[in-house]
Chains A and B, each alone.
With several copies, the nearest count.
Chain A
Amino acid sequence: MEDNRVIKTKDVNFFYGKFRALTDISMDFEKHRVTALIGPSGCGKSTLLRLLNRMNDLIDGTHVEGEVLFEGKNIYAPDVDPVEVRRRIGMVFQKPNPFPKSIFDNITYGPKLAGLGDRIELEALVEQSLRQAVLWDEVKDILGQSAMMLSGGQQQRLCIARALAMKPDVLLMDEPTSALDPISTAKIEELIQDLKKDYTIIIVTHNMQQAARISDMTGFFYLGKLIEYSATEKIFTRPDIKQTEDYITGRFG
């Protein structure tokens, strides 16, 4: 069963300068599951997510204590190349952020940099990724057009396809639907549930109902601490901790 836990954090602390944004987070993320991280603004859920593929490296004056094990190896070990980590652990952001390039170029951006040059392979990859992201039918005839012309929901699915094209093991999602309307949101939620058969997904959401709908596991964060982490069904029907229950039932603060 050891194998099933793709990512493990061990007593992770995270500091912005002297401010401790995360306190002693120890969490296991299981393969082929959707794990949701919820909690009020500033609870550290996004910070944790960005720490899992070293996106926090880009912010000055931060540092990490503890270990983040990805397939058993600490990604914060000195000999680990963060570029390599990010290739294995993809990320989708809050706002759809396609590059101002064609749909095709958006998807091949990562693979090309990683050395994939063969046009036929690239085309196959584009189709496969777009199909996985349930976008192929909508864009197959306009692959050469700018990604900026797509609707918000389509852009976000394109971003998912772009991440999938790197064939990552894990997909991190940082409030991927908070900028979308309900219909696009529903599509992305369906997609996430489809994707979990092939990927391990960790999603931050401030929409509790979304966590309820799509996740298998839910972790509730408050003030940088992991308050409760358990099966989503349990969290939403009979959480163990009162703080969790107060938060999800809206009796908080």
Chain B
Amino acid sequence: MEGTRRTSTHYERELQDIKQNLLYSGALTEKAIENVTASLLDRSSDLARQVIEGDAEIDRLDTEIEEQCIRLLALRQPIARDLRFITTAIKINGHLERIGDMAVNIAERVLALNEVPQLKPYIDLPRMAEIARSMIRGSLDAFVREECELANRVRRMDSEIDTLNEQIFRELLTFMLEDARTIHRALLIMQVSKNLERIADHAKGIADMVVYMVTGINVRHQWPGEDHDDVCRTRREEG
């Protein structure tokens, strides 16, 4: 039976379309994070506005992908692997859309921050952004390549972000307590940090779904530490 898989059917092409759209949406969100980080560092309001405007495309893709998925559910009635793919796609799509929204949130804060002098040089924020971005990329790579191990690695990265966020929060709190004039700016930066942390959460959510897609096991309410090592090994023999 191996090797006799037919040249791609219309159905498989439709599944591929969804995958392509998801990857496109993922690329857009990655780009949005990259841009919004750059706008923060360079204090570029234009770039920030670009991110805000760019979200319309992510929203459009969100709608389109969801329609594609429901269309496929209605017309093709996928099961097993295909069903796991579709449900995963729906979830990933939701996460990406939320990530887009977070990027917009950040961009709005950046616009406000650009109105006032810079509080301090950003060191941890770009690191957070970079990690978040690589989590998105990693989870989507895992999705494309159906690699459980990679997804698991992404899931473990989330704690790094949480640590950074907490660090930033404490640092900003110190600023605020020391100088009331920094409060407004510190709050804005806090929100940026919080949003990045949530982006990472969503990236982890994507990775959770990839684990589900590949193994059929639901790890959403299970922390990466718990027994993630086993998850990927329970996968059946392929073929």
Residues of A within 8 A of B (CB): 186, 190, 193, 208-209, 212-213, 222, 232-233, 235-246, 248-253
Contact = CB atoms under 8 A, between A and B. Distances in A.
B63 to A, nearest CB: 14
Contact of A212 (B12, B79, B81, B239): B79
Given A233-B71, A238-B215, A243-B1, A251 B80 contact: no
Contacts of A249: 78-82
Contacts of A236: 74-75, 79-80, 83
Given A193-B10, A213-B11, A242 B80 contact: no
Contacts of B74: 212, 233, 236-237
Contacts of B81: 245, 249
18 contacts: A190-B9, A190-B10, A208-B79, A209-B77, A212-B74, A235-B80, A236-B80, A237-B84, A237-B216, A238-B80, A241-B236, A243-B239, A244-B80, A246-B5, A249-B78, A249-B79, A253-B1, A253-B6
Nearest to A251: B5
Contacts of B82: 249
A240 B81 CA distance: 11
Given A212-B79, A213-B75, A242 B5 contact: no
A208 to B, nearest CB: 8
B239 A242 contact: yes
Contacts, number: 72
A248 B79 contact: yes
B238 interface: yes
Contacts of A252: 1
B76 interface: yes
Interface of B: 1, 4-6, 9-12, 70-71, 74-84, 215-216, 236-239
B37 to A, nearest CB: 38
Contacts of A246: 1, 5
A239 B1 contact: no
Contact of A237 (B1, B6, B77, B79): B79
Contacts of A212: 74-77, 79
A101 to B, nearest CB: 30
B142 to A, nearest CB: 18
A232 B237 contact: no
A237 B10 contact: no
A240 B215 CA distance: 10
Contacts of A232: 75
A243 B216 CA distance: 17
Contacts of B215: 238
Given A190-B9, A193-B10, A238-B80, 4 more contacts: A212-B74, A212-B75, A235-B80, A253-B4
Nearest to A194: B10
A245 B80 contact: yes
B114 to A, nearest CB: 45
A251 B4 CA distance: 9
Contacts of A213: 11, 75-76
Contacts of B237: 240-242
B61 to A, nearest CB: 19
B74 to A, nearest CB: 4
A209 B78 CA distance: 11
Contacts of B11: 213, 250
A233 B70 CA distance: 10
A237 B83 contact: yes
The 10 closest A-B pairs by CB, nearest first: A238-B216, A212-B75, A240-B236, A242-B239, A236-B74, A193-B10, A237-B74, A236-B79, A245-B80, A249-B82
